[in-house]
Amino acid sequence: MPFLSMIQDWVMTNIVLVLSIIIILFVALTVFTVIRFNVLRKTRQLLYQDSLTGVKKILHLEKNFNNILVDFDRDVAMYYINIDNFKNYNDIFGFQVANKILEKFAERIQSQVNHDHVYRVHSDRFIILNPIDSSSRDTFIETLIDALKQPFYIDKQDINLTVSVGRYDISEANPRYHDVILAAELALDRAKTHGKDQMVLYTGDLKQAHKNAFDMFYFLKTALQDETFHLEFQPIIHTQSKTLAGFESLLRFDDKRRIFFPSEIIYYAEKFNMIEALDRLVVKKSLEAYQVLKKEAINFDFMSINISSRQIHNASFVTFMKQMIETYNIKPQTIVIEFTETLDPEGLDKESKFIDELRALGLKIAIDDFGSGYSSMLRLSRNALDRIKIDKSFVTDLMHSKRNQALIKAMVNLGHAFDLEVIVEGVENEEEYRFAKSLSIGFVQGYYFHKPLKLSTVIETFKNG
Ligand code: C2E
Ligand code: MG
Ligand code: MG
């Protein structure tokens, strides 16, 4: 009791001080709350708002899909919009103008849609949600397409473009985000293959394709969770001595019900944004195998690992590789990263930086399927590389095709002129091997020597030389 009254007395005599402390605390709390609110808002903005165009990122739609549909309170259509041949605009006008096109393009879409359900998927791909107008003819998309066809005035010039659109009318009671987006994307793919500059509605005949893709989505999701896949290793051979030079790791899925081709899986993994996780697991498993092979005293110079060119856009991939080579204590110059050309218009610029960063870690870079894409030369001129792998389609039927022989010769000369190591892959017989040997190519790879092998078979085959 005396203690409580002492406190009371103290408060009464120091009332001004007490009030000041309360006010200071109150002000500090208010300032803290405002700052916290702003930081949270900024973080949310960074996460959900596309910095180039200002529209929302697709992640926002993915996270809030069902709530957004409920808010519409009527049937909604999803439109998947893509600028036709956007890569050309990038090539012709340059990266900066191409970015301005995207900014203005997004602005124009927003001016035509009287709500804020416009999302950027990536690059020149956008999604719009719009209520279905069932009372009269639904003119929304035609008006939008017409508006987008009007020239864009950028850097004192008029730029014209056309778009392709896939549309899906969301009619299910509880639609799943991935179902809907896939349907709209399949319709878009159809619009593009039918000559672009048009809209295609997702209809029944797309259903089988949709089902296949959707099966693939769940298959991949499970495979990633349970790691139900393994790697095989195809030996790469020194051309002159026919001795072992290294291995290329290749993805294989353990599913008894059907055979999955890696290229098919990779296509869907990219489509469903699962490629990052998949590539990381492949790198990890490849390095584990590398260590096993070294422990078994198998004498090889390098392990080649395929990654998707999508990693070019993934800022954390380089850091991940750095961690991996440290964790597994592997000499970086014995790891070769292989990827094919990117089809993404923003890719070429980012590619050089990505390659430089990986090479700065000491890793080697190989361009896979060289000669098969349309930017092979451009990539030679822009990037510091270590190796090119000439696409096996040139080797198929090589002995009957003077043209392919000439092309391979030209590509080998080109590679050597840039001081690059050259690999010919898909060598299936003695004649093809002799041809490769006559061109002084460093390495060959193909069924003539070995098919991709299980790790245990590699050990059996190469142990003791
Ligand atoms: P790639 O990297 O060009 O791999 C070479 C492909 O050619 C492999 O097919 C290999 O099995 C096949 N091959 C090798 N020698 C011969 C031959 O003499 N004749 C014929 N006809 N084929 C031969 P695979 O394993 O089906 O892989 C196909 C593509 O899938 C790869 O092409 C690569 O782009 C991609 N891929 C494979 N594994 C991975 C992976 O782990 N990650 C990523 N991101 N992509 C992968
Ligand atoms: Mg490869
Ligand atoms: Mg290849």
Q: Give the pLDDT confidence of 365-414 residue by residue, as tens digits.
A: 999 999 887 667 888 888 899 999 999 999 988 888 899 999 999 999 99
Note whether 171 and 235 are same-domain residues: no
pLDDT at 1 over 60: no
Q: Which of 202, 233, 248 is the last residue of a domain?
A: 202
Closest CA to 251 of 234, 237, 235: 234
pLDDT at 43 over 70: no
Regarding predicted confidence, which is higher, 280 or 7? 280
Note whether 329 and 386 are same-domain residues: yes
Q: Is the CB of 32 under 6 A from ligand 1?
A: no
Note whether 137 and 95 are same-domain residues: yes
Q: What integer pLDDT is reported at residue 137 of this predicted model?
A: 66
Q: Which of 144, 167, 202 is the last residue of a domain?
A: 202
d(CA 375, CA 368) in angstroms, rounded, equals 12
CA of 429 to the centre of ligand 1 (A): 18
User: For 62-111, how does the pLDDT look when each residue is reduced to its tens digit (9 = 90+)?
Assistant: 989 999 999 988 889 999 999 988 888 877 888 888 999 999 999 999 99
d(CA 261, CA 290) in angstroms, rounded, equals 23
Strand order from edge to edge, sheet including 163-170: 56-57, 118-122, 125-131, 76-83, 163-170, 199-201
249 backbone dihedrals φ, ψ, rounded to 5°: -85, 135
Q: What integer pLDDT is reported at residue 432 of this predicted model?
A: 95
Q: What integer pLDDT is reported at residue 40 of this predicted model?
A: 63
Residues facing residue 131 across a β-bridge: 76
CATH number of the domain that residue 139 is part of? 3.30.70.270
Q: What integer pLDDT is reported at residue 435 of this predicted model?
A: 96
- Domain-located, residue 350: yes
343 pLDDT band, cuts 50/70/90, is low
| Strand 118-122, strand 56-57: pairing | parallel
Q: Is the CB of 26 under 6 A from ligand 1?
A: no
Q: Is the CB of 250 under 6 A from ligand 1?
A: yes
Amino acid at 90: N
pLDDT at 24 over 80: yes
User: For 240-262, how does the pLDDT look when each residue is reduced to its tens digit (9 = 90+)?
Assistant: 999 999 999 999 987 777 778 88
Q: Which of 202, 236, 265 is the last residue of a domain?
A: 202
- Domain-located, residue 60: yes
H or E stretch at 399: none
CA of 306 to the centre of ligand 3 (A): 9
- Residue 31, helix vs strand vs coil: helix
Q: Is the CB of 306 under 6 A from ligand 1?
A: yes
CA of 189 to the centre of ligand 3 (A): 25
Instruction: Give the structural domain span for 85.
Output: 56-202
Q: Is the CB of 276 under 6 A from ligand 1?
A: no
**Nearest atom (ligand 1) to Cα of 338:** 2
For atom 13 of ligand 1, the residue with the nearest CA is 426
- Domain-located, residue 236: yes
| Average of per-residue pLDDT values in the chain | 88
CA of 84 to the centre of ligand 3 (A): 28
Q: How many CB atoms lie within 10 A of CB 261?
A: 11
Total structural domains in the chain? 2
Note whether 183 and 217 are same-domain residues: no
Note whether 328 and 286 are same-domain residues: yes
CATH number of the domain that residue 386 is part of? 3.20.20.450
pLDDT at 205 over 60: no
Q: Is the CB of 145 under 6 A from ligand 1?
A: no
d(CA 354, CA 452) in angstroms, rounded, equals 28
pLDDT at 35 over 70: no
**Nearest atom (ligand 1) to Cα of 389:** 3
Q: What integer pLDDT is reported at residue 198 of this predicted model?
A: 76
- Domain-located, residue 207: no
Handedness of CA 256, 258, 262, 266 (dihedral sign): negative
For atom 15 of ligand 1, the residue with the nearest CA is 446
CA of 421 to the centre of ligand 2 (A): 15
CA of 41 to the centre of ligand 1 (A): 45
192 pLDDT band, cuts 50/70/90, is confident
Q: Is the CB of 263 under 6 A from ligand 1?
A: yes
- Domain-located, residue 329: yes
pLDDT at 309 over 70: yes
Q: What integer pLDDT is reported at residue 345 of this predicted model?
A: 52
Note whether 129 and 194 are same-domain residues: yes
Regarding predicted confidence, which is higher, 206 or 461? 461
Note whether 294 and 359 are same-domain residues: yes
Q: Is the CB of 259 under 6 A from ligand 1?
A: no
Regarding predicted confidence, which is higher, 382 or 457? 457
Note whether 153 and 217 are same-domain residues: no
Note whether 282 and 183 are same-domain residues: no
41 pLDDT band, cuts 50/70/90, is low
Determine the residue of 227, 372, 425, 454 to mutate for testing ligand 1's pocket, defined as the one with the most ligand atoms within 8 A of the Cβ atom: 425
Ligand 2 (single-atom ion) residues, CB below 5 Å: 306, 338, 368
Q: Is the CB of 239 under 6 A from ligand 1?
A: no
Note whether 219 and 188 are same-domain residues: no
- Domain-located, residue 193: yes
For atom 8 of ligand 1, the residue with the nearest CA is 250
CA of 464 to the centre of ligand 2 (A): 27
H runs (alpha helix) in 296-421: 316-327, 347-360, 376-382, 402-417
- Give the number of whichever ligand sits closest to the CA of residue 366: 2
Q: Is the CB of 112 under 6 A from ligand 1?
A: no
For atom 29 of ligand 1, the residue with the nearest CA is 263
- Domain-located, residue 43: no
Note whether 262 and 140 are same-domain residues: no
Note whether 111 and 179 are same-domain residues: yes
CA of 264 to the centre of ligand 2 (A): 14
- Domain-located, residue 343: yes
Determine the residue of 224, 237, 250, 394 to mutate for testing ligand 1's pocket, defined as the one with the most ligand atoms within 8 A of the Cβ atom: 250
125 pLDDT band, cuts 50/70/90, is very high
Q: What integer pLDDT is reported at residue 136 of this predicted model?
A: 60
Q: Is the CB of 391 under 6 A from ligand 1?
A: no
CA of 235 to the centre of ligand 1 (A): 12
